[in-house]
Amino acid sequence: MKTKSNKKRNHVPIRMNALFLSVFFLFSVLVLRLGYIQIVKGEEYKRTAYLTENVTTKLDAPRGKMFDSNYRVVVDNEPVFSITYTRTREADAEKRHNIAIKLAELIDKDTEELAERDKKDYFIFLNEKEVKSRLSAAEKKNTPPEELYDVMLEKVTQKDIESLTEQQLEVLAIKSEMDRGYTLSPQRIKIGATKEEMALISEHLPELEGIDIKPDAERSYPFKESFRDIFGQVKQIPKSRMDYYTSRGNDRNDLVGTSFLEEQYEAVLRGKKTKIKYVTDKVGNPVGDPVEEDGSRGSDLVLTVDMELQQKVEKVIEEKLTDAIRGKNAYDNKELSKAYVVMMDPNTGEVISMAGKEYNRQTGKFKDMPFGNIYHSYAMGSTVKGATVLTGLHEGVIDRNTLILDAPLTFGDGRKLKSHSNMGPVDAVDALEGSSNVYMWHIAMRLAGYDYANKRFNDHKVKEAFEILRNSYSEFGLGVPTGIDLPSEATGYNTGMSNELFQAMFFAIGQFDTYTPMQLAQYVSTIANGGLRMQPHLLKEIREPSADPNKLGKLLYRFEPNVMNKIEMSPRDIEVVQKGFYEVMHGSQGTAAWIFKNKDYNPAGKTGTAEVDKETGLVNKTLIGYAPYENPEVAFAVVVPDIREGSTNNEIAEGVLDAYFSMKKEGIPTEAESQQKNEKKESR
C-alpha cells in the first residue's frame, strides 16, 4: 500500500509541472506577441488607428458679367440663398430618400425637367417587389443579373409613371439633386430659396442631416427679356453631357452655361472655385475645422450688341407686325406671326442687333425669338439675285453691258414664265432695280447650256448649273455656316440637284434652297464692303473682373475682325451689283424706292418675295441692304415669313434704320466713341 501511495504522489508533481510548463510557454508566446506588436509593429498600428484622409471640396464662384457695346451691364449676378445638401459616406439611398421626403414638405421644387427614365427608376425604387412580380419565370431564369434591371424598366408602364403624385415627383426631383453630389461637397437642391422656405428649414435643421442654407448668386438681367435667349442659360450639367464636362475638368455638381453665349464662353465666364479642405478620419467624418481657399469671379464679356438699339428694333418689329395683323388679313388665320432682323457692321462683322418676335393670336402676346435668326431658314426670294448676277458675270455668261429682253418666256411644254411686270430690254443694274426674274432665268439657262432662242440644249449641264450657283452663293455665306460665335447654327436646307431646268431657274431667284436671316446679313455685308466675307460675332472684348462696380477690369482680349474669304468676283463686277442695289432704293423702277429714296442716310438694298403656298397666297417677304451707300457702316437683313403680299418687310427695315441713324444724330455714343472714352478713364 505504501508503495502505491508513493507512486500516486510522484505522478501529481509531474502533471503539475507539465501544466506549469504549458502555461509558461503560452504566456511566453503571448508576451513575445505583445512585444512584437508594440515594439516592431507599434508605429504602423498607431498610424492605422489614427488614419486620416485629406478631402478637398469646391464651391462655384460667381460667373463673369456681360456688358453691351456701350459698357452697360446686361447680365449680372444677384445675391440669393440656395438650399444645399452635403453628403456623407454613411448616407445611403434610403437615408437620402427620407431626407428628401421631409424637405419636400418644406420647399417647392420644380419637376418639369425630370426625365421619363428618372420617373421609371423612382417607381421601381418605391415598388421594387411589385415590379419584380411582373417578370415571367423565363425572364427571371434566363436574364443575366446585370441585365435584370433593364428588363424591370421595360415593365414600368406609362400608367405607372402617371400614378406618381406631384408630391412624389417633388421628392424625386430633390433626391435626384442629392444623388448628384459628391461626398462632403455641398450640392444645390434649390437656387433662390424664399424667406418662408429658409425659415421652415431653419426650424427643422436637426431633422435634415446634411441640409444647409448657403449664400449664392443667380443671373439677373437689367434689360429683362430683351436678348435674354442669346445670353443663354446657366444650369447644372445635364446628364446627357456629363461625360463631356467631366472630361474637361468639371465636377458633376457644377453650374455651367448650357446654351448660347453662356455655353460658348463657359471657359471665360467660369470663376475660380473656392476650395474647402477637410481632414477626415477613417470612417469619413471631418476632423477639426476645414481650411478654405478663396476663389474669384469669372472674366467679363463685352458684347457688340447695343441694347438701346436692340430694344428699339424689337419695338419696331412689334409695331409693324401688329399693323400687318390688323390690316387686310395679312396673315389670314395663321396662329403665329413672325419677323426677324439682323443688323451688323459690314466692315468688322460686329452684330449690333439681332431681334426676332413671334405673335401668338391665341394669347395675344409677343414672344422674344432672337435665336430664329440663326436657327430658322426660309426661301428668301429675290434678295439672292445679287449673287446670281455676280455668278453670271464671273462665269462669263453675261457681261456688264448685256441686255436681255424681259418678256414672258414660253417653253415646249406650254409653260409660261414671266417677271412681275414686262420690263423690256434690261441690263444687270436694271434687272436688280426692277427685280427681273427673266434676267436671272436667262443666266441660269446659259449656265445649264440651254439655248432659249432655239429651245434646245447645246450642252446639257443642268446639274453643273446647280453646282456653279451653289458654290458661288457659298462664297457670300449662303448655305454654309456664317461662323457666328454661338454653339451651333443652322445652314439652311440644301434641296439638292436635279436635271430639271426649271428648278435651276427657280434656284436663281431664291425659290429653291433656304437660308437663315444671319446668312442673308453676311451675304449683303460681303457686297457692301466690296467682297470680304466677314465673320459675324457677338463678342467684342474680354475683361478681368473688377472689384469696383463703376469701373471695367483690365482688357484681356479684343476680337479682331476675321475675313473668312474674299469672293472671286472682280471689283468692277461687284460695283455693278452695288449700283443695282442703290437703284432698288432710289431708281424710278426701284422696288423699295417709294419708302427709301428720300432718306438722308442714303441706303442701298434688295427686296425679295418667295412663294410659300399658292392656295393661301402666303409668301416670305424679305429685304436686305446697307447704309450709307458710299461708306457703309451698317448692313441689315429683314425676314417676314408666311405673310400675304404687303410691305411689312420694307416698313420694318425703315423703322430700324431710322432708329439707328436717329440715335447717331442724337449724340448717343457709338461703339468706337464709348471705347475711346472708357480707355481714357482707365489710363487716368
Rounded distance, CA 279 to CA 291, Å? Answer: 9
DSSP state for residue 61 in the 8-state scheme: P
Contact in structure between 241 and 259 (CB atoms under 8 Å): no
The set of long-range contacts for 49-55, using a CB threshold of 8 Å and a minimum separation of 24, is 51/281, 51/282, 52/279, 52/280, 52/281, 52/282, 52/287, 53/279, 53/280, 53/281, 53/282, 53/284, 54/277, 54/278, 54/279, 54/280, 55/183, 55/184, 55/277, 55/278, 55/279, 55/280
3-state SS of 415-479 is CEECCCCCCEEECHHHHHHHCCHHHHHHHHHHHCCEECCCCEECCCCHHHHHHHHHHHHHHHCCC
Rounded distance, CA 565 to CA 526, Å? Answer: 10
Contact in structure between 68 and 307 (CB atoms under 8 Å): yes
State the distance between the two ends of the chain, measured CA to CA, in whole angstroms.
127
Copy the grid coordinates of residue 275.
476650395
In Å, how far are 182, 189, 207, 524 from 210, measured between CA atoms?
12, 11, 9, 59
Catalytic site residue 382?
Answer: yes
Rounded distance, CA 293 to CA 22, Å? Answer: 63
Strands 52-59 and 274-281: antiparallel
DSSP state for residue 272 in the 8-state scheme: B
Catalytic residue among 69, 259, 382, 472: 382
Q: Across 60-102, where does the E strand assignment appear?
A: 66-67, 73-85
Which amino acid is present at 513?
D
Q: What is the set of active-site residues?
A: 382
